[in-house]
Structure 1
Amino acid sequence: MYKSLPEFKYMTFDVVGTLIDFEGGLKDCLAGIAAEAGVTIDGEEALSLYRTARYSKDADLFPDDLVRVYLEIAPKLGLPTERKYGERLRDSAGNWRAFGDSAEALARLAKDYRLVAMTNARRWAFDFFAKELGDPFYAAFTADDTGTEKPDPAFFQKVFDFIGSEGNSKDDVLHVAQSQYHDIGISRKLGLTNCWIERRHAQEGYGGTIEPAEFTEPDYHFTSMAGLADAVAVARS
């Protein structure tokens, strides 16, 4: 039996896609480029092309890799192929917005838990994301800090080592994420209790996130961060 919500000391969070609306950010930037070029693009098609291009063997760290990704998908979307537009897509990460419930939910959760960010983004981008979220994190681990990306178990081990240095263990952690591929499946294999935030619950498919080989039934399941924060409040009342 997994732990009840009040029993955890830490909550670890995927950031991009769980707390930050990266799909909306990508689509907005691409739509802006398209409008300037006098063309119209389908946002879901763009996400599908992005997903295929992003998860290639020659991928760079995120979001720097968006320059390469843009140059790969632009011809398929009828967009201009100059590098400056790829750099514009990369730099747009600094303006991506949080989901409407993210900052408030994190502020509520921070009263009872140590919040730890675990993001495949580079530190420069995470600094923007953290500010957008109200700087709620007790600690943060980025691709620059770990030298790898989730779902690599080595990423999680860095966090386990940190928590261990504070005299605690992964049993004290609830891992919160929207990506079945990057987070939910591997967290289960590593023995973490997990919480799936199903951001695309009203949409079909996996959007900009790679589809997992198999679906992992989460320990906790909400369609928003507000749902998690509300459940914590009820459990602690």
Structure 2
Amino acid sequence: MPEIRDAQVVVFDVLGTLVDEPGGLRAEIRAAAPAADDTAAGELLALWQRHVETEQARMARGERPYADSETVDREAAELVAARAGVTDPAAVDRLATATRRLPPWPDSAAGLDRIARHFPVAGLSNASGPALLHLAAHGGLRWHQALSGAAVRAYKPAPEVYRLAAQAAGCPPERVLMVAAHAWDLRAAQENGLRTAYVPRPVGDPPAATDAFDWHFDGLEGLVQALTAE
């Protein structure tokens, strides 16, 4: 079993692992449609999520040409606005960029900062490059490079996205540590030769009994300690 500090580069999933994607989207929906109660906001959030998942799956099957996350988010925002009766173009435009303003988890910024003092750190996301730029600025997230699946015109868990991370790291895949709160993400990273570390989040996808990731932590602090302890 390798030591976790044998990693040369640490790569983080972003949506869900470093930021609260559903919570942030729900807040943005409530801002765009203030008349929506909690039940209605939940239904609108589900509509958004279904659209994104459906369109990404269609692209993966070759049924739709690749479109980046901000294009798909705008489609989702327009669907949500139509369902909620929001007609103000400025409100729809702001909702379409909701991913740029997702709130980080309380420990994300400090944890990233501490790891980034010891390792090169990258974000690896299905979010577009512009979304990642604004998201990092909004949440105070420190990474040395933001890698978007848009660079290879694919969405995780497509193998091309994990190969992008290894290529950007400039080292063998087994020296790249992928950190995520989603078991599906870590499974794909593992299949493409990356080391894997699971960190739980309230909106994550927990490992199954059959998963054999390299490391499991109770929270981000455990990962930080393992990577930075002298």
- Return closer, same or farther for 1:135/1:20 CA change in 2, 3 Å cut-off: closer
Displacement of 1:72: 3.3
Q: Deviations along 1:135-191, whole A, 9 cap, x unmatched?
A: 522222113322222111111112222333xxx21121110112223x211012112
Displacement of 1:44: 4.7
Displacement of 1:33: 2.6
CA distance in 1, matches of 2:121, 2:189: 17
| SS across alignment from 2:11 | strand
Task: Give TM-score, length-normalised by structure 2.
Answer: 0.81
Aligned pair partner of 2:112 in 106, 118, 122:
106
Residue 80 of structure 1 corresponds to 85
Displacement of 1:222: 2.9
Displacement of 1:79: 1.1
Counterparts in 2 of 1:58-73, with a 5 A limit?
60-73=67-80
Range with greater deviation from structure 2 (153-162 or 44-53):
44-53
Identity of matched residues, %: 23
| SS across alignment from 2:142 | coil
Say whether 1:171 aligns with 2:174.
yes
- Return closer, same or farther for 1:227/1:50 CA change in 2, 3 Å cut-off: farther
| SS across alignment from 2:178 | strand
What residue ranges of structure 1 are gaps of 5+ in the alignment?
none
Say whether 1:222 aligns with 2:217.
yes
Residue 93 of structure 1 corresponds to 99
Displacement of 1:223: 4.6
Residue 52 of structure 2 corresponds to 54
Q: Contact between 1:119 and 1:142, CA under 8 Å: does it hold in 2?
A: yes
- Return closer, same or farther for 1:91/1:173 CA change in 2, 3 Å cut-off: same
| SS across alignment from 2:127 | coil
- Return closer, same or farther for 1:142/1:81 CA change in 2, 3 Å cut-off: same
- Return closer, same or farther for 1:184/1:28 CA change in 2, 3 Å cut-off: same
Q: Over aligned residue pairs, what C-alpha RMSD do you find?
A: 2.9
Task: Give TM-score, length-normalised by structure 1.
Answer: 0.79
Aligned pair partner of 1:39 in 36, 40, 53:
36
CA distance in 2, matches of 1:143, 1:64: 14
Say whether 1:144 aligns with 2:150.
yes
- Return closer, same or farther for 1:34/1:215 CA change in 2, 3 Å cut-off: farther
- Return closer, same or farther for 1:40/1:220 CA change in 2, 3 Å cut-off: same
CA distance in 2, matches of 1:6, 1:196: 15
Residue 190 of structure 1 corresponds to 192
Say whether 1:117 aligns with 2:114.
no
Q: Deviations along 1:69-91, whole A, 9 cap, x unmatched?
A: 1333456xx51154834432222
What residue ranges of structure 2 are gaps of 5+ in the alignment?
59-63
